[in-house]
Amino acid sequence: METVIKKHITKVELLNLLSEFRKNISATNVAFGNIVYFVDESGAKTVNKQKVLQKFVRVNCTIGAKYENRINRDLVKQGEEANFTAQSMSGKEYINDEGIVAIDVKTRTKHYLVATVENHTIPTTVYFHEGKRISKEDAIKKELFMPSHFAPKISSGRGNMSEDKDFHTINPNLSNIISLTLNKTKFIIID
């Protein structure tokens, strides 16, 4: 079993670490890891301007893989032309050319980790309603999800990826990250 080093860092230190990803984490520009975060469930109903469900998520991810390059590599493997062009992020832009951290364009106060999750990867998700743990089945019975939550999702590659290679991109706010494990180091956020 591999030994994982644990480091306690602040949110500011996490931002600085990820801002210089190539220097601090991976000279190859890509790292495989695990992220744990706590957020409002985007597919939940809203009551009094608050989401009725929150979720604690643990998922394996890839950081630093260029979205456009990844789709074009898969197109070439399928015998097609590498002609995919990525659309820009909505409401966000990268803080530098490393493509790891994005900032909101409106207030320029929120930072987001940009990570790739393979569609075959199954995250561990624990839901909460009114501060108490609730199963997804019970949340569905109580109609806490919006109907749109159950609609089929468009893939990140917008239909250009082979099904077995498809993926989606997640953008958790850095302030919602509890821990991030990369290259055998687990960074635990302490503030």
Q: What is the DSSP letter of 173?
A: B
Q: Which among 187, 134, 189 has a CA at the least distance from the CA of 21?
A: 187
Digitized pLDDT (tens) for each residue of the chain, 191 residues in all:
678 899 999 999 999 999 998 888 887 788 999 999 999 999 999 999 999 999 999 999 999 888 788 788 878 888 888 888 877 889 999 999 888 999 999 999 999 999 999 888 999 999 999 999 999 999 999 999 999 888 876 655 555 556 666 788 899 999 999 999 998 899 999 98
Contacts of residue 13, Cβ cutoff 8 Å, sequence gap at least 6? none
Instruction: Please give the residue range of the domain that contains residue 83.
Output: 5-189
Q: Supply 183's token pair.
A: 């290259």
For every residue of 7-29, DSSP letters joined together read EEE-HHHHHHHHHTHHHHT-TTS
Domain count of the chain?
1
Calculate what percentage of the chain has a pLDDT beyond 90.
61
d(CA 109, CA 35): 21
